[in-house]
Amino acid sequence: MNEHEIVLEAVREAGALLRAEAERKGGPRGQGTKAPVDEEIEALLIARLSAAFPDDAIIAEETGGRPGRSGRAFVVDPHDGTQDFLQGRRETSVSVAQVEGGVFLQAAVFAPCATDLTGDSGIMVSWTQGEGIRVDGSLIEPAACPGVLTRQSVALISANVRASSFALNEGFLAPASVLRCASVATRFALVAAGRADAALTVNNPLADWDFAGGQALLKAVGGDVVGPGGAPVRWEGVRSSPQWLQGYFAARSVGLAADVAARYGSLTGVTRSG
């Protein structure tokens, strides 16, 4: 197997653990934002990646990961969307991205459970340098990104927004249809795959592992994740910079992502840069 195939195999294994937890008799273990399966998935991923890439660092949510000496790092979210998962949502995902010198090398986001958003068998969106993105192993060419949101557009927001906040988001994103999705990583991956046109999270500062996989996939199709001012989120070395932004906005074009960010200026308190 090549390097990317090794990563995909590890992510599939991780997704199988998450799917089994979703199907567990009596329901998933855990409460609040903590679930034992998250630590189990992270332990599996660290073991697989450490064995195959012993010199690469691992930056991971639950344990912090481990240092490396190659200059490359895997940014790992073993389970993005834990709280919503424990409340019954199933579009949550495993996310892995490899980065070096501020450049993504490969990524995979795997939402293994069946939902209206992810399909009957879940969805795996993946990419490696030199190739296009793949959905469930097949190369795809996503639909062209619209220049503006239209009545045919779909925008993805957090699953846990209150009814009043949902209506507010509908106003910001009009005339697009607005759907809830429990995982930032899944939201961004679905946009990259052409299953939606825009995705976001607002007033919810993210750690690198929350969005690295999704951002890598978006960049692979000519899109990106931008901050509240409309500038793409940059990476320096193996970390994003600046971190802990008040909004993250994704589309298959920087222009549309920046337009969506500008619509939320009253919430983020930031006007569009440039």
pLDDT in tens, 55-99: 999 999 999 999 999 999 999 999 999 999 999 999 999 999 999
Tell me what pLDDT residue 273 has: 52
First to last CA, the chain: 45
Contact 55, 73 (CB under 8 A): no
Tell me what pLDDT residue 255 has: 97
Can you tell me the mean pLDDT for 7-14? 98
Structure tokens that stand for 150 in this block: 């239209």
The pLDDT-based confidence of 146 (bands split at 50, 70, 90) is: confident
What rounded mean pLDDT belongs to the chain?
A: 96
pTM for this structure?
0.97
User: Residue 177: in which H helix or E strand, if any?
Assistant: strand 177-181
Can you tell me the mean pLDDT for 187-206? 96
The pLDDT-based confidence of 1 (bands split at 50, 70, 90) is: confident
Contact 28, 22 (CB under 8 A): yes
The pLDDT-based confidence of 163 (bands split at 50, 70, 90) is: confident
Tell me what pLDDT residue 164 has: 87
Residue with tokens 């920087």: 254
Contact 173, 263 (CB under 8 A): yes
Can you tell me the mean pLDDT for 129-150? 95
Let me know if 217 is exposed, middle or buried by CB neighbors in 10 A (0-12, 13-18, 19+).
Answer: buried
How far is 95 from 242, CA to CA, in rounded Å?
A: 21
* Residue 263 dihedral angles phi and psi, to the nearest 5°: -65, -25
How far is 22 from 11, CA to CA, in rounded Å?
A: 16
Let me know if 208 is exposed, middle or buried by CB neighbors in 10 A (0-12, 13-18, 19+).
Answer: buried
pLDDT at 106 over 80: yes
Distance (Å) of CA 109 to CA 13, 79, 134, 137, 156:
13, 10, 11, 12, 16
How far is 227 from 199, CA to CA, in rounded Å?
A: 12
pLDDT at 13 over 60: yes
pLDDT at 105 over 70: yes
Burial 171-199 (b: 16+ CB within 10 A, else e): ebbeebbbbbbbbbbbbbbbbbbbbbbbb
H-helix segments, the chain: 3-22, 36-52, 82-86, 163-173, 184-192, 208-220, 254-263, 265-268
pLDDT at 274 over 60: no
Distance (Å) of CA 174 to CA 59, 158, 181, 272:
37, 17, 18, 19
Contact 222, 242 (CB under 8 A): no
Structure tokens that stand for 206 in this block: 């993210």
Tell me what pLDDT residue 90 has: 98
Can you tell me the mean pLDDT for 116-136? 97
Domains of the chain, start order:
3-139 (3.30.540.10), 154-268 (3.40.190.80)
Question: By percentage, how much of the chain surpasses pLDDT 90?
Answer: 93
Tell me what pLDDT residue 272 has: 60
Closest CA to 179 of 206, 159, 204: 159
